[in-house]
Structure 1
Amino acid sequence: MDDYTWKRRLRQRRRRQRRHLFLFILLIASLVSMTVWYAFFYTRTPEYALKQLSTAIEDRNTDAFKKYVNMDVLSSRAYDDLTVDLFAYDSTLTPKSKVMFEKFYIMIKPQLSMGLENAALTRIETGAWNLPDGTDILKGRQLGIDFERFIERSQLRNTTFVSIGNIEHDGSTATAELNILEDYTQTPFTLQLVMEQAEDGHWQVSYIKNYKEYLDLIAPLQNSDIASYIDNTQGIVDEYNGIFEEYQRRFRQLTATSSGQLSAAQRKKIAALLENEVIPALKKRQQKLDEVDIPAGAQYLARQRQHSTETTIKAWQHFIKGCRDNSQAEFSTAETLHKQELAIDLRVQDIIRHTAISKNIPNLP
């Protein structure tokens, strides 16, 4: 190789090295720019917040969820939307009674709003909608309302996330579209999530702008199905109400005692009545109810009726065992189950009454 050729190849090699070095520097600069953009810009966007929120739900990370949702504002606004016209169309209430009930719901707002928060966070953490338990004031009807029914009216449990839509920016606020599906009636809807920046710059969902519109759309659809289901099952309910009234009369006769203690003969007859007649009648009634087609929006009411029947049968089974074994523990268990059954029956009555009232609500445009 002559000297000229060697020098030419050396120059070419150096040019290639400079190009490689330039490309390497460009790549590093791009990576640095992307890192800076991600760390200081993208992480402070509504898009990033919604992505992190979705990840938090998938990972059951309640701390991350609370970071990207202003739970206090969200639950407070949701509560207002749920209760704003709760008694507006109840013609059975006097104006004075309506005002009294409205004041009552304002008074218990902190407890119910916190209950909504806790229920949602528990759902994220465990995957289940657990009701208040133990000494929680929302357990049962201690606060004067049925929290189970309140949660059901919120539509939270029967709403499925579909996708995230458009996000509109407006300075320090943004509105994100959340496409959802109401599970019972399979009705699609687009919620508008209002997002705001926290003090440290990250974005949070503050409230649902059109939550009331969603409730107003879904409730009439469900109420129509519930009304249809009530009408279709009324004959069965009336028939067995008469049958159970007769059983109640016979039960009272069999349990009558001057000493306050049931004799062995009484316990035997009571157990026979419950086992041979009452429980079979309960099962037969439920079988007939199950044979009726359940409209999509009436599934909750149908499940509550089934739950009531199952709980009642369990209660009577413990009562029967208490009669046969003369066991106070079994009687106590039966009493506890009967209290649960009464709470379910009250819930069923509330649904039926609310459906009747809803017929007075004018059609929404």
Structure 2
Amino acid sequence: MMSRTMKAKVACAVLLAVAVLLSGLFWYFRIYTKTPEYALRTIESALDQHDEALFLRHVQLDAVLDTGYDDFMTGTMDAEFGHSHEASAALEDFSKMLKPAFISMLKDAVHTRLTTGEWPSVNPADEAADTENILSRIGVRDLTFREIANLTQNDEAQTAEADVIAHQGEADSDFTFKILLAPSEEGDWQVVSIQNLHEYAVVLQQARRLRIESYLEESNAIIARHDQTVGAAQLRLYSVLGAGALGSQATRDMARQIMEQDILADWQERRDELSAVSVPRSMQSLQQLRLKICDLHIAYAQGYATWMTDKNAATIRAAENSLRQAEVLEVEASFLVQRAKRSFGDKME
């Protein structure tokens, strides 16, 4: 049987364990849950668990979006247009006009993210197109959380600051967001603002500018090189047609050979090379236009080569129709290139 002394020791040990457990629970529920660190960890957990109520308990979403919009748009305008007073005044008025709708759509997108775990689906044909433009504008789809660092608390000011490090895929670099927290009336710490969205907007715009410059430089070099090759082939074609009679089979065979082996092959190579270029999101329309131009020139070259054999008027009419469409689209593509350059002013010259 257990001695009285041993029983007393066991009882003391049990009481001590209970006391430690209770003090731990008291510390967790009454102290730790009322700290900035707990708030940040809970926000992270709420995002993972799609718990919108928990997220909103620790994020003053309206306040974050209100100040965040102003800072981000100011940073974007500074990055795009510099500090021109005339441009700034006009753009500031325009920005204020857009603000209510911008914030409303962004709140809806955040709601979707918090309840489903995903941002709204991308479908330019539906009503979510404007929301997608906003999400693309702020680069949120390309942000990947890394870590929370450098959490500091100012007891006198009743605030806390934290560094939230995220990877920005579009810029291909990490960015440190400066988060400001303050306690609510219930004592829960909440994120009340992101303090450096102006800087984030500038970094994002600079990265986008560099990607656009890189895309235009690489793709324009491809186009220029192939234009030179096709131009030389067309001169050979004109020489053959000028030297012989179009009714001659030998002339037609030589023309078909140049069209198939030189011009058609070169347009196919051009398309393949353009398809391999990395394309910024803002240049997707231009890229698709350029590929369509390649397809139309390929169709023209194939039709022209076929006409050299079948001598069918319908064949050449269809080919020439493809060529006319290509020429129209080439004007539009040139316009998009110039607009991209103008959007960044002299910085791309």
Q: TM-score range by the shorter chain?
A: 0.5 to 0.7
Contact 1:119 1:131 in 2 (8 A): no
Equivalent residue, structure 2, for 1:214: 200
The change in CA–CA distance for 1:88 and 1:190 in structure 2 (over 3 A counts) is closer
Q: Deviations over 1:280-329 (max 9, x none)?
A: xx99976442133x2xxx532455556778999xxxxxxxxxxxxxxxxx
**What 5-or-longer segments of structure 1 have no aligned partner?**
1-9, 141-145, 241-281, 313-344
Equivalent residue letter for 1:291: A
Match of 1:201 in 2: 187
Deviation at 1:26, TM superposition (A): 0.8
The equivalent of 1:129 in structure 2 is: 119
1:163 counterpart letter in structure 2: E
1:358 aligns with 2:344: yes
> Distance in 2 between the 1:112 and 1:54 partners?
25
Unaligned 5+ segments in structure 2 are: 228-266, 294-331
Change in 2 beyond 3 A, CA 1:176/1:87: closer
1:275 corresponds to: none
Query: Separation in 2 of the partners of 1:166 and 1:122?
Result: 30
2-structure distance, mates of 1:188, 1:89: 19
Structure with more of its chain in helix, by fraction:
2
Matched, 1:59 2:49: yes
Q: How big is the shift at 1:99? A: 2.8
Letter in 2 for 1:193: I
C-alpha root-mean-square deviation of aligned residues, in Å? 4.1
Question: Partner of 1:186 in structure 2?
Answer: 172
Q: Secondary structure, in 3 states, of the residue corresponding to 2:170?
A: coil
Q: Give the alignment partner of residue 50 of structure 1, picking from 40, 45, 50.
A: 40
In structure 1, the residue matched to 2:280 is 299
| 1:151 equivalenced with 2:141 (yes/no) | no
Cα distance in 2, alignment partners of residues 76 and 354 from structure 1: 30
Distance in 1 between residues matched to 2:75 and 2:346, nearest whole Å: 13
Distance 1:55 1:91, change over 3 A: closer
Matched residue, 1:69: 59
Matched, 1:173 2:159: yes
Give, in whole Å, the separation in 2 of the partners of 1:89 and 1:67: 34
State the distance in 1 between where 2:281 and 2:168 align.
Answer: 13
Q: Structure 1 CA distance, aligned partners of 2:69 and 2:40?
A: 23
**AA matched with 1:299:** P
Shift of 1:178: 1.0
8 Å CA contact 1:155, 1:215 repeated in 2:
no
Change (3 A) 1:210 1:87: closer
Query: Match of 1:193, SS?
Result: strand
Corresponding residue of 2:275: 290
Aligned position for 2:30: 40
Whichever residue aligns with residue 115 of structure 1, its letter is M
1:215 Cα deviation after fit: 2.5
2:255 is aligned to none
Mapping 1:1-365, distance limit 5 Å: 13-88=3-78, 98-130=88-120, 140=129, 147-171=131-155, 172-234=158-220, 287-292=272-277, 294=278, 298-301=279-282, 303-305=284-286, 349=336, 353=339, 356-358=342-344, 360=346
Instruction: Classify the secondary structure of the residue corresponding to 2:280.
Output: helix
Say if 2:181 and 2:191, in contact at 8 Å, map to a contact too. yes
* SS at structure 2 position matched to 1:178: strand
Alignment partner of 1:221: what SS?
helix
Q: Tell me the matched-pair count.
A: 271
Deviation at 1:200, TM superposition (A): 0.5
- In the aligned structure 2, how far is the partner of 1:184 from the partner of 1:101? 25
1:257-292 deviations in Å (ceiling 9; x for gaps): xxxxxxxxxxxxxxxxxxxxxxxxx99976442133
Equivalents in 2 of 1:177, 1:89: separation in Å? 23
Q: What letter corresponds to residue 183 of structure 2 in structure 1?
A: Q
Query: Which has the larger displacement, 74-83 or 351-360?
Result: 351-360
Q: In structure 1, how many angstroms separate the alpha carbons of the residues matched to 2:86 and 2:171?
A: 36
Tell me which residue corresponds to 1:263. none
Name the CA distance, whole Å, in 2 between partners of 1:355 and 1:126. 39
Q: Taking every aligned residue pair, what percent have the same amino acid on both sides?
A: 25
Q: Aligned letter for 1:223?
A: R
1:315-358 CA-partner distances (Å, limit 9, x unpaired) = xxxxxxxxxxxxxxxxxxxxxxxxxxxxxx99x95x97465443
Contact 2:212–2:283 (8 Å) recurs in 1: no
Q: TM-score, normalised by structure 1?
A: 0.61
CA distance in 1, matches of 2:118, 2:53: 17
Q: Which amino acid aligns with 2:152?
A: E
- Could you tell me how far 1:153 is from its partner in structure 2? 2.7
CA contact (8 A) 2:139 2:170 kept: no
Read off the aligned partner of 2:281 and give its amino acid letter.
Y
Q: Distance in 1 between matches of 2:75 and 2:176?
A: 22
The aligned amino acid for 2:214 is: S
Normalized against structure 2, the TM-score is what? 0.64
